[in-house]
Structure 1
Amino acid sequence: MIRTAAFLLALPTLGFAHPHIFVDTDMILRVDEEGALYEVELAFAYDEFFSLLIIEDMGVDPDGDGILTEAEKAKLFGFDVANWPDGFEGDFYVGVNGENVSMQRSMAIGLDVVDGKLVATQTRPIPFVDASLAVIRQYDPTFYVHYTLQNVSVEGPCESNVDAHDPSAGDRAVEEALKTVSDDVIDTLELGIYYADTIRLTCSAGS
């Protein structure tokens, strides 16, 4: 989702198993009349510090007043979906029967600045999976980015059920995982899932 900023890849690791970028997410799940989940819309509000880094890196807002012109917004538009590296899943996962569904890349549809935070909106097609079987999570496997799910809504004949993660349980799981590997491979661990909320959909009969 945000790995596309070249400077982000160059940022030093300030500590392992601790996030350094914080993102609030609003999510809209779209389900058709047959009960197939076919699209997600995600609005990401990045923390003020990271927003400032992006703005400075892209060379916009030279006067530093935090107010972007339409031309400056246009320059930033799509920064979060451009040039995804190979294997990057966009920090968004839909599982069915224990397997993650392969999805196309996201498409940028909006960019704004709200209270000092960059808010980037994107849509992503989902290959028409049975909504009632879908297990949906948003997380960065490396836990460099921490997502907070603010709102989930559904357009279609289903309702969302959010099972919020337990931070204490996540901490314990991470501690146990860290005990199993040596220091030279510690950065290969995928720890973000332990801090991910889980979303399931309940669909009306006949959908």
Structure 2
Amino acid sequence: MRTKRLVMAGLATLAAPSLAFAHPHIFAEARLEVVSDDKDEISELRNVWRFDELFSSSVVLDFDKNSNATLDPDELAEVGQTVMESLSEYNYYTTILDNGKTIKVNKPDHITVDYKDGQLLMMFAVKPAEPMPLKGKLSFGVYDPTMYTAMDFATDDDLTVVGDKINACEHKVVRPDPDEVLAENKDTLTDAFWSDPTGTDMSKLFATRIEITC
């Protein structure tokens, strides 16, 4: 039951995602580091998510087995395992484009979870499922395809690159204006999108992202 409640709370599929588009129910401050290796390829994406207090308290209610109003190490580990299983079909909220081609990510080794000052904190790294050389135009973002969770990058510095070669590439943070996205894509944002944005894969148009050109 705890797993089901967490999923229904917004870390996976929803009964009515079209309503969630207009009104996110969960809010998270995010940080993303795009890391390159000595082979001049993308090696991993490092994520840090800090959730709002209301959602965090609901997770405590679900996973606090000993009723001490906090989450102990074993309970935090269970939250991490639950999230790792729940988000697999959503590509861990990760969107990657390699010169226009969508790239999936592999399952993370683990998700580290902490609970501090009334907020849930999650940290994990994902690796591209196929080689990504630093060539052409690359794009990386984090978004919830159900649009139930609002992933917010407070400053442009929260989307950054790590590695000498990738630092030498041109990179910029893109924050799409929802009204402009709607106007520019009115012919493709069909009824299917509004009834099930996860099925159309178009919600990534609204995602804050970092674009890298090498």
CA apart distance, 1:190: 4.5
- Match 1:169 to one of 166, 176, 180: 180
Displacement, 1:100? 0.7
1:22–1:146 Cα contact (<8 Å) kept: yes
Between the two proteins, what is the percent identity of the paired residues? 20
Per the alignment, residue 107 of structure 1 pairs with: 109
Give 1:186-205 correspondences, 5 Å limit. Answer: 186-187=195-196, 188=199, 190=201, 192-202=203-213
Matched, 1:153 2:160: yes
Code of the aligned partner of 2:39 = E
Partners of 1:131 and 1:116 in 2: how far apart?
40
State the match for 2:5 in structure 1.
7
Give a deviation string over 1:71-91, Cα, whole Å, max 9, x none: 433333333212545x43211
* 1:23 shift after superposition: 1.6
Asked if 2 retains the 8 angstrom alpha-carbon contact of 1:143 and 1:191, the reply is: no
- What is the alpha-carbon distance in structure 1 between the residues aligned to residue 31 and residue 192 of structure 2? 37
After the TM superposition, list the runs of 4 or more consecutive aligned residues in structure 1 that deviate by more than 6 angstroms. Answer: 173-178
Gaps of 5+ in 1: none
Which of residues 119, 122, 146 is equivalent to 1:120? 122
Partner of 1:68: 71
Counterpart position of 1:21:
26
Instruction: Return closer, same or farther for 1:182/1:34 CA change in 2, 3 Å cut-off.
Output: closer
| Unaligned stretches of 5+ residues in structure 2 | 10-14
Q: Is the 8 A contact 2:28 2:151 kept in 1?
A: yes
1:139 to 136, 143, 162: 143
Q: Please report the TM-score for the alignment, with normalisation by the length of structure 1.
A: 0.77
Pick the structure with more helix per residue: 2
